[in-house]
A and B are shown apart, each in its own frame.
Chain A
Amino acid sequence: GQNIDQPTEMTATEGAIVQINCTYQTSGFNGLFWYQQHAGEAPTFLSYNVLDGLEEKGRFSSFLSRSKGYSYLLLKELQMKDSASYLCAVDNTNAGKSTFGDGTTLTVKP
């Protein structure tokens, strides 16, 4: 089966750094996605990690450790518009689909 865990809620201050963790237990792992979903909107793609290590994309970075079944999304220089739900998803192409975690709701406060 598939099991993906991430914190339900997090709060951070504007301008700060926040790290959102995701742990997973799956079979046939190919890679790990992070998506951002603002309230009332559809998810949008942020990152996709296949190999171990950190990938940086502007203010957002994503890290993967395949041996530990662990990933995190790092958001720097937080802005109010970063308040959203962040979804971790495992790409399990062997099963033909991705499995999503329940999401972490991030609230950025001034």
Chain B
Amino acid sequence: GAGVSQSPSNKVTEKGKDVELRCDPISGHTALYWYRQSLGQGLEFLIYFQGNSAPDKSGLPSDRFSAERTGGSVSTLTIQRTQQEDSAVYLCASSGERPEQFFGPGTRLTVL
């Protein structure tokens, strides 16, 4: 079956603009994660959704960041009033019955 997909693959925006990043998890996976990865760095956890439970937002770096997951499937990560330090690759992952996470190809965000 299809893996995790993300769109867009690349996004260039101007400082102060809002951006939306989309993630389509593997069908049937109940858990969905968003991470941020700067060049040469590890994965920075942002937010975690599990089924119908309230999301774990403990990793969101500021109130400019928000995410939602509609119908337990597709998720959108929104960054408002983007700043240059938001430039990074944003990775989405999902998991099902087994705990290992399957990652999407990521969205490379560049804030000018």
Contacts and interface: CB of A to CB of B under 8 A. Distances in A.
Contact of B100 (A41, A42, A48, A97): A48
Interface string A42-70: 11110010000000000000000000000
A44 B103 contact: yes
Given A42-B91, A102-B41, A96 B101 contact: no
Interface string B7-46: 0000000000000000000000001010100000111010
Contacts of B42: 87, 100-103
Given A42-B105, A91-B99, A97 B43 contact: no
A26 interface: no
Contacts of A96: 31, 48, 50, 53, 56
B75 to A, nearest CB: 14
A99 B103 contact: no
Contacts of B100: 33, 45, 48
Nearest to B59: A97
Interface in A64-110: 87, 91, 93, 95-103
A95 B53 CA distance: 13
B7 to A, nearest CB: 14
A96 B50 CA distance: 8
Interface of A: 30-31, 33, 41-45, 48, 87, 91, 93, 95-103
